[in-house]
Amino acid sequence: MEIADYIVADDTRLVKLSLDGDQMAFEYLFNRYGDAIRRLFMQRSTSAEDAEDLIQETFIKVYINLHRYSAEYTFGQWVYTIARNTHIDFERRRQEDISIDEKFSSHAASTPSPEENLISLQQRSQIESYIECLPEQYRRLFTMRFLEDYSYDEIAETLHLPMGTVKTQIHRARERMCALIKKGGIK
């Protein structure tokens, strides 16, 4: 396809092309919705650094679950739902850092959404093969954070690393994982 064809293609066409392994089509979907999702996270009082992490996490989930997209909703609504649920997860993880007094005075977190359920076995094995391609330092952090659901504090304590190092390396691991997914595609 020519670049102009990607630009004028509707979301449904780009989704189909992405599912068929066309990485450029997914890149156009990302470019089409990335800024709107960034604004969503920034409106919800998220720092710029956290917003970037959440955008990457959102689009990893979009990519992994692309086969579940249904054209009965607009692609934008679907991505927005995933982004909203990703932000809910993020806020829930931040709740772990709040003192007991503050927890009891705050509102309870919502129940898990379908996007928060485990990745299917087939997809998980493909993700695990990508994880194996990461350098050891990133592999361990990525696994602890995203597969074993450790908090940043738990990772820092377990690995005896400063919090800043943990956040930076997880961010880099996530970037490398995104690059691997873009390069290899998840079928």
> Which is higher by pLDDT, 150 or 162?
162
Interatomic CA distance for residues 148 and 178, integer angstroms: 19
What is the span of the domain harbouring residue 187? Answer: 118-187
pLDDT digits (tens, 9 = 90+) for 165-186: 988 998 888 888 888 877 775 4
Q: Among 117, 140, 157, which residue terminates a domain?
A: 117
pLDDT digits (tens, 9 = 90+) for 45-77: 778 888 899 999 999 999 999 999 888 888 989
Work out the mean pLDDT of the chain and round it to a whole number.
Answer: 81
* Per-residue pLDDT, 115: 46
Quick one: tokens of 167? 């956040």
> Are 106 and 122 contained in the same domain?
no
> Are 185 and 109 contained in the same domain?
no
> Are 70 and 108 contained in the same domain?
yes
| CA-closest candidate to residue 109, choices 96, 91, 84 | 91
Write the CB contacts of 47 (distance below 8 Å, at least 6 apart in sequence). Answer: none
- In this prediction, residues 126-155 reach a mean pLDDT of 83
> Are 101 and 136 contained in the same domain?
no
> Are 41 and 125 contained in the same domain?
no
> Are 129 and 183 contained in the same domain?
yes
> Are 83 and 128 contained in the same domain?
no
- Kindly report the pTM of this predicted structure: 0.52
| CA-closest candidate to residue 127, choices 118, 136, 137 | 118
> Are 13 and 95 contained in the same domain?
yes
Q: For the purposes of burial, counting CB atoms within 10 Å of the CB of 20, is it exposed (0-12), middle (13-18) or buried (19 or more)?
A: exposed
Residue 143 has pLDDT above 70, yes or no: yes
Model confidence at 113, pLDDT cuts 50, 70, 90, reads very low
Interatomic CA distance for residues 59 and 37, integer angstroms: 10
Q: What angle do CA 148, 44, 52 make, to 5 degrees?
A: 55
Q: Among 81, 96, 117, which residue terminates a domain?
A: 117
* Per-residue pLDDT, 59: 92
Q: Among 64, 95, 117, which residue terminates a domain?
A: 117
The domain tally of the chain equals: 2
